A and B are shown apart, each in its own frame.
Chain A
Amino acid sequence: MARAGALALLLLAAFVAHQAGADDAQASRSTAFALGLALIAAALAGEAAARVRLPRLSGYLLFGLAAGPYAANLITRPMARELTVLNDLAIALIAFVAGLELNLARLRPRLRAILALGLTTMALMFVVLVGTLWAAWPWLPIAPEASPLVRFAMATVTATLIVSFSPTVSIAVIAESRARGPLSELVMTVVVLSDLVLILLFALVLQFVRTASGVGADDIGLLPHLSWEIVGSLAVGAIVGALLAFYLKWIGREVTLVLLAVCGAISAAAHAWHLELVLTALAAGLVLENIASTRGDDLKHAIEAGSLPVLIVFFAAAGASLQLDALAGIGGLALGLAALRLALIRGGAAVGSRIARLPPDLGGTVWMGLVSQAGVTLGLASIVAAEHPTWGTQVQTLVIALTGLHVLAGPVLFRAALVRAGEVGAAAPEPREATSG
């Protein structure tokens, strides 16, 4: 009751401020307003979601959606844009945490099974989606008059985008559910390794599209660029991880603050040097975990203290930025493709689990952790739109609509799977403090 009262007061404060605020206020002036509102109100919404056994991050997302520009407009469009200032920091932090979870000694015996599951699922999804899209392309609202080869190229790039998973969301669900166990580890490893494969696949497919459509076909810098993106990211991340291990061993003070600064530096470096942000941060966490695992555990606890506000803002911003108009415009097609993707994930994971000889209970639920899609998919779609504005923008709209559906449904499914596997809350509990008075 007190929390409902607090939420009502906050929303009233936001409403009053909106009524009195200048319409022409600089966007930067609204950043802290949007951040504060998102932090508290989304945290309360997350708690409400947890009460009805949904993931907290679904609550954060739904708050963003409800308060965002397409609904209550308490978070206006410029404010939603300003909220994304923390996006890169959040992604770096989440990937770093994922790296800390990847203990190679622990994973080595299961690596073959993990690769078999991930590659089979992706391959099956990719092949079926390319075939279906190519066959259905003349009836889709995306350049239906294209020649068969160009149509095939467009189908491959669209399929690549639809296949992708979201390490960010999957890892965030694991973190906020405090889950630990075979399913959490399997899903996390599969989505992280799939992210690597996807980047590689996307680069190759994009080159094929260039050749087929004749746009930018003479751009031969792609492979060196790709090599740099992968190898450079891993190298920079490894160096950062080693430096952090050194810091933790010899200094070890203000760990949360230093970690947030390091994640900020990683995201700045990724922008400046054209690195893959997820890979860089993941490599940093992985190196730290595997060369200084005890210190890595200390760090993990510090991260848990510092990451909650970043995650809340990240997902509230994602909710506020969901483009409902895209979903409304292309909703039927998006729903059809989402249903097909879900079926393919389920089928692909079933086949993959059999090849990987996973236990039936694990093989039967792993698909539920692969449904989410988020930032990486949107980022790749924007590259397609920028390179091929004639049809790429329509593909981007479709992908935005699909991502909107998957980012809402994915966490709910994954948490349900974690509950079924009995892994929720298996990690160390959050510290509680008695309050006086």
Chain B
Amino acid sequence: MTAPYDATHVGQDPIDAQMAPPVAWWTRAFRRRAALGLRPLVAPLVVFVPLGFAAGPRGAGLLSETTLAHLDPIVSVALAGLGVLVGVTLGQRQPRGTPIVAAALEAGLTMVVVTAAFLFLLTRWGVPPAQSAIAVALLLGLCAASSAAAGHQTDGSLAADVADLDDLAPIVVGAVALAAVAAPGGGALAIRLVTTIATALLVAGAGWLLFERTSAAHERAVFVLGTLVLLGGIAAYLDGSPLASGLVAGLVWARLPGSADRVIAGDMARFQHPLLVLLLVIAGATIELAPAVIWIGAPLILVRVAGKLAGGWAARRAMPGQVGPDFGAMLIPPGIVGLALALNVTQLAPDLARWILGPVALAGIASEMLALYVIRTGDGP
């Protein structure tokens, strides 16, 4: 049975908590906001995406198109690493029953609200062409569905469980949607999905056999790094989703006997921050400054907030008395998974990228800023 609601149940999503920027010394100043009962000012998304844009081909040109093309494999690896983090965290927490239903409701409702709204808007505007409009609306819905959840209590809270689990649906449905976009045709789609999952399982099995049985730190780091690179690499080679590959592997490591999940979490700590910062910077540098960023991004902010509030309301009804009335607002910060999914769209369906990546980044930054004023954390000195 779950505990009744109290303030500590509103927790920061532990997955996103692991993704704090590595430069702790300069974020320390912003933590004073938390002491005043306000959310910390700086989310990694708010800092590194604009930084990437400024350094990218549309900015100072420090990251040229050629450089970005060379960095493409690193994006796949970072996406797989993110998937592993999500998988390991979910596998370790083993949420059952109510939170799963609540998260499915919350993420599903957000997805439906955003997809329906954009299907309507894009069809009315007549751009992009009809078939692409369906894909764009669906992908925007998926990117909008994940959330980081705000607050300070990270472990064991129901809200944190829900915020963790709402990353799952976009990754899983996103894998199918992206495979469909990249390989139209039922047979090819099924083969691609099955192969991506099967290879992820094989690599996860190999990793499980290696991690615990290697005592030399440098050698084990090579196996961990190699496994992540291979997960991302095979998924990219198959035009599949590295996020889904990583998720599968993370879940396998968490559920198999032994401590493979703890080994990978510990060793990943060495390079997860640089990888994730790089992911955000590359996302920023890849954004095309097109009118679509504004005319899709602006409605996306509003529709996503509406979706999250509606999802939060539905989730509260699934967990009566266990989360507060402001639960929906707590889910407004988007975290990193949505943007990662948008970056994956850029890799697999570059034609659709300009309708997705820029608007999702804009909506993500705006949602983080909005959350500053909507949410009080309750952090005390």
Q: Which residues of A are interface residues toward B (Cβ below 8 A)?
A: 2-3, 5-7, 9-10, 12-14, 16-17, 20-22, 25, 28-37, 39-40, 43, 47, 85, 257, 304-305, 308-309, 312, 430-437
Contact = CB atoms under 8 A, between A and B. Distances in A.
Interface stretch (B9-17, B144-152, B204-212): B204-212
Contact of A20 (B191, B219, B226): B191
A17 B201 CA distance: 12
Contact of A309 (B222, B232, B239): B222
B344 interface: no
Interface stretch (B66-74, B119-127, B153-161): B66-74
A437 B274 contact: no
Contact of B230 (A13, A85, A309): A13
Interface residues of B, number: 51
Given A16-B195, A17-B199, A36 B218 contact: no
A6 B210 contact: yes
21 contacts: A6-B206, A6-B209, A10-B206, A10-B230, A13-B230, A14-B234, A29-B237, A32-B73, A32-B74, A32-B232, A37-B230, A40-B206, A40-B210, A40-B226, A40-B227, A43-B223, A85-B70, A309-B222, A430-B219, A433-B217, A435-B212
A12 B226 contact: no
A109 B235 CA distance: 56
User: Most B CB atoms within 10 A — which of A28, A36, A437?
Assistant: A36
B77 interface: yes
B199 A32 contact: no
Interface stretch (B256-264, B356-364, B365-373): B256-264
Given A9-B209, A32-B77, A16 B225 contact: no
A33 B228 CA distance: 10
10 tightest Cβ-Cβ pairs between the two chains A and B: A36-B230, A32-B233, A39-B226, A437-B259, A33-B233, A36-B229, A40-B226, A13-B202, A32-B73, A6-B209
A98 B134 CA distance: 58
A114 to B, nearest CB: 31
A307 to B, nearest CB: 9
A10 B217 contact: no
Contacts of A39: 222, 225-226, 229-230
B61 to A, nearest CB: 15
B28 interface: no
Interface string B305-342: 00000000000000000000000000000000000000
B238 A430 contact: no
A44 to B, nearest CB: 8
Given A33-B233, A39-B229, A432-B215, A17 B209 contact: no
A304 B218 CA distance: 8
Contact of A257 (B214, B263, B274): B274
Contacts of A25: 237, 239
B195 A432 contact: no
A9 B222 contact: no
B130 interface: no
B234 A33 contact: yes
User: Most B CB atoms within 10 A — which of A13, A35, A430?
Assistant: A13
Contacts of B49: none
A2 B258 CA distance: 14
A75 B149 CA distance: 43
Given A17-B234, A40-B210, A10 B229 contact: no
A437 B212 contact: yes
B231 A43 contact: no
Given A21-B237, A43-B226, A2 B210 contact: yes
Contacts of B258: 437
Given A13-B199, A17-B237, A437-B262, A35 B215 contact: no
A308 B222 contact: yes
Nearest to B230: A36
B218 A430 contact: yes
Nearest to B71: A28
User: Most A CB atoms within 10 A — which of B191, B206, B227?
Assistant: B206
Contact of B202 (A10, A30, A32, A430): A10
B76 interface: yes
A432 B233 contact: no
B374 interface: no
A85 B72 CA distance: 13
Contacts of B233: 30-37
B209 A33 contact: no
A13 B258 CA distance: 23
A36 B226 contact: yes
